[in-house]
Amino acid sequence: MLRFLLMLFSSLMLNISFSQAFMPSYPDGDEYFKCVKATNDYEGCASEQARQRLNTVKKEYRTILTNPNIVGWHEKISDNTVTLRDMFESWTAFRNRLCSLSKKAAKYLEPLIDEKIGCNSYYITHHQDHLNSIILLLTKNVPQKRKEFNYLKIYDHDDEYEECMKGKNNSKCLDEELKRSSKGIKNLYKTLLEDNFVGKWNNGPDLKNGNYRDMYDSWIAYRNRMCSLSVWAYQVGYGKNALGVNQCLQFFNREKLETLQNLLMSANSALDDEYDEDFDDDGGEAEGKTIKPLERRFDTEQKAEDVLESEETAEPLIKKAEPKKQAPQKKVEVPAWAR
């Protein structure tokens, strides 16, 4: 028994970074370290930190909504309110589902902090950073040189893109890469559903019903609205050609691809072959049942057909015309979801 435990510990040390690769760590705040020092409750302090950062996210939504320049995105305050509300709710739905799956996939880890709490803390802080960058763009409190303002991180293009670029048709090459990454995401969802370990997490019979469908739908709704806001804000800060829609979409697609790939690798750890008979496995079924089905589809521009079987039809709501200069509207009441 002791020999088995030593072997398991050694394997875990080799696989820990592998299992957590999809979720990098953000620096913890001073309040977190003060809390840990006072209570020695790592998990409780991490939960409190995530709660505080979520409150900051809501404040950032409120700051964006009440910025006078927001009327250049959609001309009506009510339209901006609805779109931001849907973005917040779809981001929440996507995050909750991803972190539930993350906890199940990282089955051999026993960290100080529960995997679901750590995952939520990362994605909340990640979203906070993006929203803060949008606020800086709207207030034009950014460097004059666009390259000095790193909002969307530079990502490596695939080999097909590099080959295509030899013909120097950037728009065409990016369009084709976006189609490849979108197809890759759908294929990974299908692979996850068919996986012996995380397939039952779906809590449904197929990709048309269940957690994977809901996670995909809510992510698409969040991505489209986030890119709509991001591209428009970038144009406010740096001019109409500063950032293209497909550049933003591909940025989020690449993030999604890497996340799903690493989730799948974590779920299929090398430890499975050695210790499968000693590991209690319900195939993710219990974890999947903790997620409530979506009550509504956020992406109302989307056709009713199964988005996992067809290309996305909902384009971000980017205004093609120059933003109209309008007098500031009356102060809008902050909706409940942003308080």
Yes or no: say if 257 and 184 are a contact pair by the CB < 8 Å rule: yes
Looking at residue 47, its pLDDT comes to: 84
Q: Say how many C-beta atoms besides its own lie within 10 A of residue 214's C-beta.
A: 22
**pLDDT at residue 273 tops 60:** no
Looking at residue 338, its pLDDT comes to: 54
| Separation CA 42–CA 38 (nearest Å) | 10
- Helices 170-194 & 245-267, crossing angle to 10 degrees? 30
Residue type, 129: D
Looking at residue 125, its pLDDT comes to: 92
The residues facing 209 across adjacent strands are: 206
Looking at residue 267, its pLDDT comes to: 81
- Over the stretch 165-199, which tens digit does the pLDDT of each residue have? 888 777 789 999 999 999 999 999 999 999 988 99
- Residue 112 pLDDT grade (very low, low, confident, very high; cuts 50, 70, 90): low
Q: Which residue has the higher pLDDT, 110 or 139?
A: 139
- Over the stretch 190-222, which tens digit does the pLDDT of each residue have? 999 999 889 999 999 999 999 999 999 999 999
Contacts by 293-300, CB closer than 8 A, 24 or more apart: 293/214, 294/93, 294/214, 294/217, 294/218, 297/217, 297/221, 298/86, 298/89, 298/90, 298/93, 298/217, 298/218, 298/221, 298/222, 299/86, 299/90, 299/217, 299/220, 299/221, 299/224, 300/86
Highest mean pLDDT out of 41-45, 126-130, 316-320: 126-130
**pLDDT at residue 292 tops 80:** yes
**pLDDT at residue 4 tops 60:** no
SS3 content of the chain, % helix, strand, coil (to 5): 65, 0, 35
pTM of the model: 0.81
| Separation CA 18–CA 266 (nearest Å) | 7
Q: Considering just the CA atoms, what is the radius of gyration of the chain in Å?
A: 21
- Residue 87 pLDDT grade (very low, low, confident, very high; cuts 50, 70, 90): very high
Place of tokens 């197929």: 206
- Looking at the chain, the whole-number percentage of residues with pLDDT higher than 90 is 41
**pLDDT at residue 26 tops 80:** no
- Helices 77-105 & 42-65, crossing angle to 10 degrees? 160
Q: Three-class SS string for 68-90?
A: HHHHHCCCCHHHHHHHHHHHHHH
Tokens of 154: 């530079």
Q: Give the closest residue to 97 by CA, choosing from 17, 194, 189.
A: 189
